[in-house]
Amino acid sequence: MQHVWSKPAALAAALALMLAGGAALARDAGEDDAFASIATVRQAYASGALTPEGLTRLFIERIATIDQAGPTVNSILETNPDALAIARKSGKSGPLAGIPILLKDNIDTGDRMMTTAGSLALVGKPAPRDSGVAARLRKAGAVILGKTNLSEWANMRSNHATSGWTGRGGLTVNPYVLDRNACGSSAGSGAAVAAGLATVAIGSETDGSIICPAAMTGLVGIKPTVGLVSRAGIIPISHSQDTAGPMARSVADAATVLGAIAGSDPRDPATAEADKHATDYTKFLDPDALRGKRIGVVRQLAGIEPNADHALETTIALLKAQGATVIDPVEIPHLKELSDNELNVLLFEFKHDIQAYLATRPDQPMKTLADLIAFNQREAAREMPWFGQELFLAAQAKGGLDDPKYIEMRDTNKRLAGPEGIDAALAKDHLDALLAPSWGPAFVNDLVLGDHVVSGDPTVGGVSAPAAIAGYPSITLPVEFAHELPVGVVFFGAKWSEPTLIAIAYGVERKANAFRRPKFLPTLPTR
């Protein structure tokens, strides 16, 4: 299986070529710049103390020395060969002007980078045009720095998988403790931002794929309302649940990025109402926003992992200290019923949606899910050394989207998760948002046995499931550390409630102040 690890050497060589030459910098960028907020970077640009090229060069150097060598976090699949040129031409207008940002490798960019979902099946020619997200980032002035590793096919290939592993890139590890998992499927986006390899990153989620990796790498992650951010040009799982969202080291940075990528896109009909709700989310960063808020604690999602429960209690105390009313406990009706049909709905939609996406990539040979299955069988030594493709096979066996069983399951899940679930819980106690513990500390990597996930109620797949199935927003942020590993909480609420969730998370963040730079520990001490 040596092929799995050949990518870092090639990428390191490419990075060296990119770094050769270039204009003199305003000053040498250092580690503090790598962890600086968007606002701080913009101030440095305005004063002339730092340039977009200087910061971009710093990140390219850190990718070479930290990601591809040294600790070898292995979070980056490729860097943008045009990143420095883009940075040199970067203007001053736009909320992300000159800000280097990484994209998960299921998000199309119409440039020289590939979009593969981590699979060797799509290695070859790049996508013909930008995704809706990439186009908005460019319009906002961002420097698209590169593509991050992930769980292959966003964890939709096997139920025995290890999060953060792809046939194309190998395994991304957690920068806090290197033998620990970064969770999936946006593992690379989370690990890279935590390690100071970019200012911010974009992940995507169907159920947990932003919230879990953000939680396990000590970041703020926002899973927006489905329909707020375009999915056009993003390799899909489910048109019912998929969305892209920001992963950042602060609520302010995540809010800034969300404002830049939110809005309607004619290529994604689900975004028809987005412009009514998209806004500058930084205006909700109110230091006094928690006063008067009513927040319900979902104890149904607690009691599974003690470190996560401790973070929950810490958060409750912070909320009360800042004037919030905490209703504890509250109950989400039908919570245990939500998992019954979620996977079946996703399998139906994946079979249909992946074929629709592949049709937008006419220069590559894969046309259907059956083609991908056949490729994996031919390339089993490279693609399936650790786990198989049971989910691919299960999806292939499903019928079309006109199947009455699919329609019934989809509609039932949406109703139970949304109007009769989250909405009902909010209305009963006149709540602004719901609170639950996030995942426990990152688990040890295990390519042989797969993931060992400890989260909320396992019957619903964790704390992300209610909001994910309903298509409603959620936000996670770090609250404290347990044995050198970050632990956080999740707030979620009604459709289009991003402003409220951001305000609440900002209030908690100001007091918790929990982000810390990783130490890249090889393992945790056993004594």
> 278 φ, ψ to 5°?
-65, 140
The b/e string for 166-195 (b: 16+ C-beta within 10 A; e otherwise) is bbbbbbbbbbbbbebbbbbbbbbbbbbbbb
Instruction: Catalytic residue, from 75, 131, 204, 209: name it.
Output: 209
> Which residues on neighbouring strands pair with residue 76, listed in sequence order?
148
User: Helix, strand, or coil here: 105?
Assistant: coil
Instruction: Give the H/E segment covering residue 222.
Output: strand 220-223
Other beta carbons within 10 Å of 466: 32
The span from the CA of 132 to the CA of 88, in Å, is 24
Residue 185 a catalytic site member: yes
Task: Give the separation between CA 330 and CA 413, rounded to whole angstroms.
Answer: 20
Kindly report the three-state secondary structure assignment for every residue of 143-184: EEEEEECCCHHHHCCCCCCCCCEECCCEECCCCCECCECCCC
Range list of H helices, 20-82: 31-34, 38-47, 52-62
> How far is it, in rounded angstroms, from Cα 245 to Cα 202?
6
Question: Residues 7, 75, 90, 104: which is the catalytic one?
Answer: 104
**Tokens at residue 109, please?**
């960019």
Annotated catalytic residue 209: yes
Q: Is 414 part of the annotated catalytic residue set? A: no
Among the listed residues 318, 319, 249, 258, the one whose alpha carbon sits nearest the alpha carbon of residue 283: 258
H-run or E-run covering 478: strand 474-482
| Active-site option among 119, 151, 185, 186 | 185
Determine the Cα–Cα distance for residues 240 and 277; give it in Å rounded to an integer. Answer: 19
What are the catalytic residues?
A: 104, 185, 209
